Chains A and B, each alone.
Chain A
Amino acid sequence: MTKEELLQQVCGLADGMTIQEQSNQPTVNVPVEKWLSIAKTLKSDQRFQFDMLSDQAAIDWPQENQIELVYQFYSTSLGHNLMVCVRVSRQNPIAPSLYQLWPISEWQEREIFDLFGVRYSDHPDLRRLFLEDDWKGYPLLKDYKDDFMLERPW
């Protein structure tokens, strides 16, 4: 399957999905309320067979008041990959957990919860991963500040 065919077929799964142009690999934007069912299809459908979740990341967009969750998928049987961007609101970031589909995402989601504060619903063990348990705030948000930090003087 070529890149264009893959994008066409993925976008045909549900309404509201768009292709992200400025990317060197196939990338789709998915609305958050449809994300869990689409993820199930991406894993089980014979056309896609994305059995590997290579990476999970998050980007903070303070001007647009959104946090973007980025998922990297790879299919070991068909050899194609796909990037999925899901945007959640910055005030109340709630996203579905993919733990039931790809168990690796348990720790990935704990890391994103630790540094960005995204709450994953149905996550089995949503605790901080890197920082201390009594840490306040989420340090990779752009407006994070604490007493320890030195402000850059210029």
Chain B
Amino acid sequence: MNDLLQVDDLACHFSVRRDHGFPARRVPLKAVDGVSFSLAAGRTLALVGESGCGKSTTAKAVLGLTHKTGGDVLFKGAPLPKAGTREWRRQRQDMQLVFQDPLAALDRRLPIGRQIEEPLHIHGVDDKAQRRETVTRIMTAIGLKPHQAASFPHELSGGQRQRAVLARALVLEPSLLVLDEPISALDVSIQAQVINLLVELQERLGVAYLFISHDLKVVRQISHEVAVMYLGRIVEHGDPETIFTAPAHPYTRALVSAIPTVRTTKRERIILSGDPPNPIDTPPGCPFHTRCAQAFERCRIERPELASTGDGRTVACHLAHAPDVRAVA
């Protein structure tokens, strides 16, 4: 297996307080429940889904930032070192995280040049002059002018701030970048700049992206593979072109059809009823059956496993694998 990142049957179950009582009653919350995927060097895998589907928790577990309760995460073939240990810290150089809000990710009191340089310092790379040189190089690569190293975060625009955050993440030349909604907080005209930059940087540096987003259009633009998540599980996984043009899972179909477009040709819109169920009490059987128009008896009892449909993708839906059983519905 030469994959950069290999995630097998990952589970993150939390125990959450339900009330203020004494003693506190705790219930399990299955934020991530059996997620598997792999990511090769220089490629992009997008995790998409709505809030609470477990995509951000998966990302955190991959970085070892949250405790996993089951499964394995292999990075370059080896399990993640324990969080907080020296090995784990050393591995930070090779896997970096970028958040949604660049202003929150930057220190307001430090000029961005210093912040971009800081990871080099922390990981004991190079002497001072070399560090400065690396910073200048990375800033140029990322589309910031070297003189902006002296600027403070509030002096930059939203797009420039996100560039600074990316520069800081890339300065150690990681092989994996986890991007959690990296462009959601940016305006449309700036989004395009950052999307293009990400694509370009990947080509140039060969960095792999684990890209977390709710925006399918952006995901299609940037990723080689897409995994659609619902209530802590992957329900459909494959190539973005296939998934977005002919979604196989009813949830993906609804999600894709819900995306508003400026095209004047109207598409059929599938409108799901209700909210996603609370991850504290996930329904038995297929977690999506409560909102699925096609659900039939089996969906309420048996949870469909993620299985190949023969066209290079995997889908977790009884109907996708045996369309005939639908007679019951």
Interaction A to B: no
Binding site for B on A (CB under 8 A): none
